[in-house]
Structure 1
């Protein structure tokens, strides 16, 4: 065997080994494709769900715009409304329930109020005033416990929620 034929055999062996190695790598990579496709499909489904949620949230934009047009000022604080509606009622114990950001500049304010001894008709007038306020305060929970049977005074615990424009300065709920 001559030197040139030996180098040709070595070259063919190296080329065959490279081709075999490439084929093995191709088969190994092809096995991973289905798992990668499943991951891509799962991420596409997640993205579609996020896009649907975004479209739903954007559907509320006209309502927030209308609310902003109607309510230029922050809502009146519940304690101020109570003093106006029932001047003789004792001051409630108030606890801030927290602030939750909503879409855009809006936030949801929660307030917990507890009255130790209050006339029941004052509570009804206060709730009517909360409902009529702009933006309105909504009673999220209400518990009335009569102090004596047939009496007109009660112990009241209530939670109020109101939507407030975060950029507005003034009375905090």
Structure 2
């Protein structure tokens, strides 16, 4: 089952919680969003960013369907030339143990992950528009071009990970892979 809680926000302070208008907030105390998601416990959780205001529930459900179909622990969308794992993923956080605090930790630790092209999830590229300013909210323009790729990744060993992610054109993952995962991480060593 996919848990979607649009009324619960992840933020750094009570003031920001009120500013964003969430009914309830989880607070990131500097350990990173992966720790906060891990605190949610068992079940499959969709982690959606607040700066993607046009993202629809059906898109997250489609992402979860790919995760289930490929028997993966993590599913993340690919859009334009990049992975949206830093802000958007569908995970079962109960199966992970150690984090450095980045959302890509889930992807880097998974025994199996599926990266799904945004065009396979929705026909509306606007769903993947980042809104960082009032102007971008008014413009309503998508960020980049949709991706039609579908990539299944089975257990990448840490010593090979930077080169592997670069070969797939996944720059964010390659940058994050340059920082070793903490000891005790299951899956990717």
Q: Same fold (TM over 0.5)?
A: no
TM-score normalized by structure 2?
0.20
Larger Cα-atom Rg = 1
**Which one has a larger percent strand, Structure 1 or Structure 2?**
1
* Structure ranking higher in helix proportion: 1
